[in-house]
Amino acid sequence: MTTTHDERTGTANEPEQTRDPLEDIARQLLVEIGENPDRDGLKETPARFARWWREFSQYDAGNTSTSFPISTSGQMVMVGDIRLWSLCEHHLLPFNCSVTIAYRPLGDVLGLSKFARIAHRHAHRLQVQERLVQDIADEVGAVTGSPDVAVVAQGEHLCMSMRGIRTPARMTSSVFRGVFEEYGPVRQELIAIAFPG
Ligand SMILES: Nc1nc2c(ncn2[C@@H]2O[C@H](COP(=O)(O)OP(=O)(O)OP(=O)(O)O)[C@@H](O)[C@H]2O)c(=O)[nH]1
Ligand SMILES: [Zn+2]
């Protein structure tokens, strides 16, 4: 959006809508795949395409750090089955994930919704699933100050299901830090919550 100046009256005109360059990219894409971008059904598509990419790439997860001073005497906190969508950085196609996050609070406990906010923040960029779980674990560790953090994700990638090998499959990736590093009851409990049944 730009504001122009009227030379005659010396007043500022109403802001002009400038076209998002992403609209031109969408038009060109439509032409390249043999479509007519001016046909009725497609007229608004470049603008929608631009809005969706801006929404994806400029996503704001909001405040992810509210915590409360509650004495938890070493208990584990696990937030399971956070559903999210991300975009594969190789093909720009979506993948969905069910993410489970666990940590052992040191002092303060993090607000429940903040785990989903953190997960969505890192999903809203071009990703691979292995890096997604690491990014989430890094931020949970940084915000809570806890060395005991685990993140497990199970996802389906459209780049594998709908194109290429065309085989739906479940990918699992995980990060286990601190107390979760060792195979034992704590890790088993996490796995049981992340993958019920
Ligand atoms: N490890 C991992 N691989 C991914 C992820 N998302 C996509 N891929 C893979 O990235 C690879 C890219 O391989 P390339 O050979 O460069 O590309 P391609 O010819 O399109 O590969 P195909 O998908 O096998 O058709 C593929 O094997 C994808 O399945 C991810 O999150 N993690
Ligand atoms: Zn892909």
Nearest CA to ligand 1 atom 25: 164
Ligand of minimum distance to the alpha carbon of 160: 1
Is 1 or 167 the better-scoring residue by pLDDT?
A: 167
187-197 average pLDDT score:
81
Say which CATH topology domain 1-58 has.
GTP Cyclohydrolase I; Chain A, domain 1 (1.10.286)
State the average pLDDT over residues 179-189.
Answer: 87
Topology of the domain covering 67-194? GTP Cyclohydrolase I, domain 2 (3.30.1130)
Question: Using CA atoms, how far apart are residues 5 and 123, in angstroms rounded to an integer?
Answer: 42
Beta-strand relationship, 94-103 and 149-157: antiparallel
Query: Looking up tokens 């601190």, which residue turns up?
Result: 178
- Taking the C-alpha atoms of residue 71 and residue 31, their distance in angstroms, rounded to an integer, is 61
Confidence class for position 93, pLDDT limits 50, 70, 90 = very high
Q: Of all atoms in ligand 1, which is nearest to the CA of residue 159?
A: 23
Q: How confident is the model at residue 185 (pLDDT cuts 50, 70, 90)?
A: confident
More confident site: 112 or 189: 112
Give 133-137's long-range contacts (Cβ < 8 A, gap of 24+): 133/99, 133/173, 133/174, 133/175, 134/175, 136/99, 136/101, 136/175, 137/175, 137/177
Q: For residue 192, which amino acid is it? A: A
Dihedral angle sign, alpha carbons of residues 163, 164, 170, 171: negative
Q: Where do the structural domains in the chain lie, given as residue ranges?
A: 1-58, 67-194
Residues in contact with 100: Cβ distance below 8 Å, sequence separation at least 6, in sequence order: 78, 79, 80, 81, 82, 150, 151, 152, 153, 190, 193, 194
* Chain centre distance of CA 18: 28
Average pLDDT of the chain is: 92
Nearest residue (by CA) to ligand 1, atom 20, is: 164
**pLDDT for the residue 61:** 96
103 with 148: CB under 8 angstroms? yes
Task: Find out whether 56 and 88 touch, Cβ atoms under 8 Å.
Answer: no
**Distance of CA 165 from the midpoint of ligand 1 (Å):** 10
pLDDT confidence band for 196 (50 / 70 / 90): confident
Q: Which residue has the higher pLDDT, 155 or 1?
A: 155
Minimum-distance ligand 1 atom for the alpha carbon of 157: 6
**Per-residue pLDDT reduced to its tens digit, 15-28:** 677 899 999 999 99
Residue from 106, 190, 171, 168 nearest 140 by CA: 106
- The model carries a pTM of 0.90
Q: For 32-78, how does the pLDDT look when each residue is reduced to its tens digit (9 = 90+)?
A: 999 999 999 999 999 999 999 999 999 999 999 999 999 888 899 99
Q: Is the CB of 78 under 6 A from ligand 1?
A: no
